[in-house]
């Protein structure tokens, strides 16, 4: 007979009604056993060390510091999963929670009925981030470190806009250079791009010059042509 896995969960929230709601949704689900319910950060750490739960569900604003509790639990019990609950859409809290070792970051709701499925997924190795924060995550990882990639080469018989070979050996563009090139292709001026990306006009010009050099083209117009591809391919659109 198929056995339903039982996950031991520690719940911690400084608000008594919220703590009661969390306890209810987990107690009503056969996949979970509530090992401890705590109302402060120090108690959450002590409870985790004592109970060794499979997962801790912590309020980020837990009295005494939900993030501090997450840091200590993840350091002392690296196998224990952590999910942070928040009532705020502040993306700085999201990144702080992830740095503290959180496997999930979810907005609080009035009933928490959706929570057991998400928590079970985290216990089984998935991540759980509220959809509200997905855009913030994408923006963060797209801009945090330079991303490098080469432009797609034209077909062997397709002419390069400048008539030269397709760029120098190192024609990789950074993520910022791609952003600038994309905005150029939309018809934005240097000043427009400066406002869009909140960088100086001189920085925009530096990125354009680097892009032109790397692509081995004469100017920004030819760089945009490289992005768009051969003219005969565009005529079909």
Q: What is the CATH number of the domain that holds 109?
A: 3.40.50.2300
Q: Of the candidates 112, 141, 170, which is a domain's last residue?
A: 141
What's the whole-model pTM score?
A: 0.60
| pLDDT (average), residues 192-201 | 88
pLDDT for the residue 200: 87
Q: Are residues 43 and 154 in the same domain?
A: no
User: 35 with 119, same domain?
Assistant: yes
Residues forming beta bridges with residue 84, ordered by sequence position: 58, 105
163 and 131, same structural domain? no
Of the candidates 141, 156, 171, which is a domain's last residue? 141
130 and 195 co-located in one domain: no
Same domain, 193 and 100: no
Domain boundary among 141, 163, 194: 141
Render pLDDT for 88-127 as a digit per residue (tens, 0 to 9). 888 888 888 988 999 999 999 878 988 999 999 999 998 8
pLDDT at residue 134 above 70?
yes
Band the pLDDT of 234: cuts 50, 70, 90: very low
Q: Is 1 among the domain residues? A: no
Do 39 and 136 lie in one domain? The reply is yes
Count of the separate structural domains present in the chain = 2
Same domain, 120 and 48: yes
d(CA 105, CA 144): 20
pLDDT at site 152: 53
Supply the range of the domain harboring residue 31: 7-141
Query: Do residue 104 and residue 198 come from a single domain?
Result: no
């Amino acid at each position: 007979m198929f056995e339903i896995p039982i996950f031991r969960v520690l719940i911690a929230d400084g608000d008594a009604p919220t703590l009661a709601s969390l306890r209810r949704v987990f107690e009503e689900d056969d996949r979970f056993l509530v090992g401890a319910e705590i109302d402060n950060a120090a108690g959450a750490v002590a409870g985790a060390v004592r109970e060794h739960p499979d997962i801790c569900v912590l309020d980020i604003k837990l009295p005494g510091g939900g993030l501090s509790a997450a840091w200590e639990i993840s350091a002392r019990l690296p196998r224990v999963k952590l999910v942070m609950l928040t009532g705020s859409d502040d993306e700085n809290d999201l990144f702080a929670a992830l740095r503290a070792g959180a496997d999930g970051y979810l907005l609080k709701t009035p009933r928490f009925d959706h929570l057991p499925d998400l928590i079970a997924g985290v216990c089984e190795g998935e991540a759980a981030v509220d959809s509200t924060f997905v855009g913030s995550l994408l923006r963060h990882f797209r801009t945090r470190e330079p991303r490098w990639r080469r432009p797609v080469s034209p077909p062997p018989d397709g002419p390069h806009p400048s008539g030269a070979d397709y760029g120098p050996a190192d024609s990789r563009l950074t993520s910022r250079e791609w952003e600038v090139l994309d905005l150029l292709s939309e018809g934005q001026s240097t000043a427009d791009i400066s406002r869009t990306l909140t960088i100086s006009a001189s920085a925009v010009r530096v990125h354009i010059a680097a892009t032109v050099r790397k692509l081995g083209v004469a100017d920004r117009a030819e760089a945009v042509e490289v992005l768009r591809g051969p003219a005969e391919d565009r005529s079909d659109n």
